């Protein structure tokens, strides 16, 4: 067991007071910025980066890594309590988590998130130790055609997220896809649909869209009646999950780990895709899919686990191939470069103390996060004792200034407000915002990959069927659509093709 001795050496590296402090500092900053809407891990790490230039390389990386996965924990809290997703990955959690809060089950939602995140993170770290190099080699083969089929699968799942009519979900998703088109064309480099506003040249910011459609619209909705603003969002209720909750969540947590891990390794993949996939799979597998969107704990446990697992496995391409798989990891790559360390295939042999130190720090960091977050549930749910009108005002202030920090521009504040109004009216007309937000996320990846695929195949759509991974994913898409239609035809609320859904979950 080479890995084991190496890992023990890794613990030797980080179990020094200074490095433990950096882990603690990292995960705490991560939690805070995860809680604060707007400020995401990318912006925070960019702010912290210059400070790390003077630090030991290992210390620098373990702190920045802590900020990253710590923010995954933190983002959950506002999603669940206020329906304000602090970052994209927790947008899915906002669906059922907030419903649980309204039903007085905020405690169980937050507690299961903390536990699920810990389990997902830990399983991903073990996966990282055991199969990182071979998995990374596989992941790079994931090219544009595979992305097209994966994101199409994601969008099909997204339209299935809603609790209301499928037609309305499809319309919301299509609008999300169109909003994603605004800005600079990913292939041609020209600008589209910008209405001449410079603020739109680089597209609409996802965080502004998500917080507007979920958070702001919710506050506007609550403020509708003067009587309501003196009410509460929900009762405080019990602080942790019950035995039944745990039984319901075990499966989603396990599957969430197994789904989130490989998706995180994919270049450009990560958080949101993994939580969407987990939500879709859980709803499909569930014996009571109609409860999803109305406070099903499975809809919190699975996605939260998956996004944490993916945030850990996202380090694999960076540490083993030197390839950052998303913006946050590109910054961490920058931190390594500034330390004169070349991440790449040679990193593990050239700097074992760094590689194994970072891995050991992730195990420690995840444990700290669990110990930090579980007891904090009791503290956070006390927020629910405050009247809605007050919470709403404070939440709006923090959300607005948080959105400002995205680009230091009031433009994003306006975008968020407009999205809030849109979300309010959508809700009044029985449309759900979730398909719009999630399709918006996937839309940019889908279009770029689709057009790259067409360039690669000289315009032949056969490319999606002839490449093996893509072909398998295409089959999943077809199975998913076919079984949805079949289910609709039979007017049977229960999923009729559980076997196929199991296959779907098992294969991933």
Q: Are 316 and 139 in contact (CB under 8 A)?
A: yes
Element at 192 (helix H, strand E): strand 191-192
Q: Are 41 and 68 in contact (CB under 8 A)?
A: yes
Cβ neighbours of residue 158 under 8 Å, at least 6 residues apart? 169, 173, 276, 280, 434, 435, 438, 439, 442
Q: Which is nearer to other proteins, 251 or 344 (CB)?
A: 344
Q: Which is nearer to other proteins, 1 or 188 (CB)?
A: 188
Interior angle at CA 154, CA 129 and CA 290, nearest 5? 105
**Whole-Å CA distances, 446 to 134, 145, 269, 326:** 26, 10, 12, 16
Shortest spacing between CB 380 and other proteins, in angstroms: 16
What is the residue whose two structure tokens read 């910025």? 33
Q: Which is nearer to other proteins, 187 or 482 (CB)?
A: 187
Shortest spacing between CB 32 and other proteins, in angstroms: 8
Shortest spacing between CB 505 and other proteins, in angstroms: 26
Shortest spacing between CB 268 and other proteins, in angstroms: 7
What's the rounded Cα separation, in Å, for the pair 70 and 106?
20
Q: Which is nearer to other proteins, 360 or 396 (CB)?
A: 396
Q: Which is nearer to other proteins, 237 or 334 (CB)?
A: 334
What's the rounded Cα separation, in Å, for the pair 121 and 239?
23
Shortest spacing between CB 190 and other proteins, in angstroms: 6
Q: Which is nearer to other proteins, 111 or 200 (CB)?
A: 200
Shortest spacing between CB 240 and other proteins, in angstroms: 25
Shortest spacing between CB 171 and other proteins, in angstroms: 5
Element at 183 (helix H, strand E): strand 183-184
Q: Are 76 and 113 in contact (CB under 8 A)?
A: yes
What's the rounded Cα separation, in Å, for the pair 472 and 466?
10
Q: Are 292 and 240 in contact (CB under 8 A)?
A: no
Q: Which is nearer to other proteins, 74 or 120 (CB)?
A: 74
Q: Which is nearer to other proteins, 35 or 501 (CB)?
A: 35
Shortest spacing between CB 57 and other proteins, in angstroms: 13
Q: Which is nearer to other proteins, 331 or 505 (CB)?
A: 331
Burial (CB count <10 Å: 0-12, 13-18, 19+), residue 324:
buried
Shortest spacing between CB 186 and other proteins, in angstroms: 7
Q: Return the sign of the alpha-carbon dihedral for residues 310, 331, 181, 188.
A: negative
Q: Are 97 and 76 in contact (CB under 8 A)?
A: yes
Shortest spacing between CB 349 and other proteins, in angstroms: 11
**Whole-Å CA distances, 386 to 4, 76, 103, 289, 374:** 49, 19, 16, 32, 21
**Whole-Å CA distances, 216 to 74, 82, 182, 252, 300:** 19, 10, 22, 29, 21
Q: Which is nearer to other proteins, 96 or 447 (CB)?
A: 447
């Amino acid at each position: 067991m080479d890995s084991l001795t190496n890992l023990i050496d890794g613990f030797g590296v980080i179990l020094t007071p200074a490095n433990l402090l950096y882990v603690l500092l990292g995960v705490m900053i991560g939690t805070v910025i995860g809680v604060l809407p707007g400020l995401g891990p990318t912006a925070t790490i960019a702010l912290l980066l210059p400070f790390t230039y003077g630090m030991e390389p290992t210390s620098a990386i373990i702190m920045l890594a802590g900020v990253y996965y710590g923010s995954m924990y933190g983002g959950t809290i506002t999603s669940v309590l206020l329906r304000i997703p602090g970052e994209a990955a927790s947008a899915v959690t906002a669906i059922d988590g907030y419903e649980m809060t309204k039903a007085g089950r905020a405690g169980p939602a937050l507690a299961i998130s903390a536990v699920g995140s810990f389990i997902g993170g830990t399983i991903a770290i073990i996966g990282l130790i055991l199969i990182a190099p071979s998995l990374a080699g596989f992941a790079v083969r994931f090219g544009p055609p595979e992305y097209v089929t994966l994101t199409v699968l994601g969008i099909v799942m997204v339209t299935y997220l809603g609790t209301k009519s499928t037609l309305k979900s499809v319309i919301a998703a299509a609008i999300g896809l169109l909003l994603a088109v605004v800005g600079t064309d990913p292939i041609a480099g020209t600008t589209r649909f910008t209405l001449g506003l410079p603020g739109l040249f680089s597209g609409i910011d996802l965080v502004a869209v998500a917080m507007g459609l979920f958070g702001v619209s919710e506050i506007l909705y609550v403020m509708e009646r003067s009587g309501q603003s003196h009410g509460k969002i929900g009762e405080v209720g019990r602080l942790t999950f019950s035995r039944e909750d745990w039984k319901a969540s075990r499966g989603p947590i396990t599957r969430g780990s197994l789904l989130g891990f490989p998706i995180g390794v994919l270049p450009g993949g990560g958080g949101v895709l993994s939580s969407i996939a987990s939500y879709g799979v859980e709803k499909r597998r569930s014996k009571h899919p109609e409860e999803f969107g109305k406070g099903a704990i499975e809809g919190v446990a699975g996605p939260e686990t998956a996004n944490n697992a993916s945030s850990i496995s996202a380090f694999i391409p960076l540490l083993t191939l030197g390839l950052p798989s998303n913006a946050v990891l590109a910054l961490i790559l920058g931190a390594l470069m500034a330390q004169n360390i070349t991440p790449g295939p040679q990193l593990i042999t050239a700097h074992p103390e760094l590689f194994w130190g970072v891995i050991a720090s992730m195990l420690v960091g995840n444990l700290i996060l669990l110990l930090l977050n579980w007891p904090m549930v009791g503290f956070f749910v006390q927020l629910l004792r405050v009247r809605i009108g007050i919470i709403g005002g404070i939440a709006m202030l923090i959300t607005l200034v948080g959105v400002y920090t995205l680009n230091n521009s009031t433009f994003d504040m306006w975008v968020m407000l407009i999205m809030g109004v849109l979300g309010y009216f959508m809700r009044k007309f029985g449309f759900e915002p979730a398909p719009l937000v999630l399709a918006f996320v996937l839309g940019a990846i889908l279009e770029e990959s689709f057009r790259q695929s067409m360039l690669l195949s000289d315009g032949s759509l056969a490319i999606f069927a002839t490449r093996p991974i893509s072909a398998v994913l295409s089959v999943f898409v077809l199975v998913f659509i076919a079984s949805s239609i079949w289910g609709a035809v039979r007017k049977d609320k229960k999923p009729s093709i559980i076997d196929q859904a199991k296959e779907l979950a098992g294969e991933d």
